[in-house]
């Protein structure tokens, strides 16, 4: 989240080489479970964010169903993240934080 803060809450930072996909989760309850139950255990902290992307742009990415029926997410290739970021409307907000 430090990198997002440094980018003025407007864009996601570039993916690391081992992260070929940016996958925003579309369901807040699932995002909470991932942040709280997985990210905290593996990274020491977990964050749930909320942000809007222009619907005409984001419609090019089909909704993916990951790890069962309840986790719905988009799969944004790392090479398309700059374009994705250019279509974020407003700021990225942290709505839950777990440590």
Residue 42 to residue 88: CA distance in whole angstroms: 28
Structure tokens at 4: 């997002």
Domain extent for 24: 2-98
- Per residue in 6-54, pLDDT (tens digit) is 999 999 999 999 999 999 999 999 999 999 999 999 999 999 999 999 9
Residue 33 to residue 67: CA distance in whole angstroms: 13
- Per residue in 41-59, pLDDT (tens digit) is 999 999 999 999 999 999 9
pLDDT value, residue 84: 98
Number of folded domains that form the chain? 1
Q: What is the DSSP letter of 20?
A: -
pLDDT band, very low/low/confident/very high, at 66 (cuts 50, 70, 90): confident
Residue 52 to residue 60: CA distance in whole angstroms: 15
pLDDT value, residue 98: 98
């Amino acid at each position: 989240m430090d990198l997002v803060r440094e980018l003025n809450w407007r864009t996601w930072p570039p993916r690391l080489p081992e992260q070929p996909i940016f996958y925003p989760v579309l369901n807040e309850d699932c995002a909470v479970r991932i942040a709280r139950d997985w990210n905290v255990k593996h990274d020491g902290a977990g964050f749930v964010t909320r942000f809007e992307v222009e619907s005409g742009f984001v419609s090019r990415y089909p909704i993916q169903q990951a790890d069962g029926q309840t986790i719905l997410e988009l799969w944004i290739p790392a090479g398309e993240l700059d374009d994705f970021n250019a279509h974020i409307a407003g700021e990225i907000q942290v709505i839950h934080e777990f440590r």
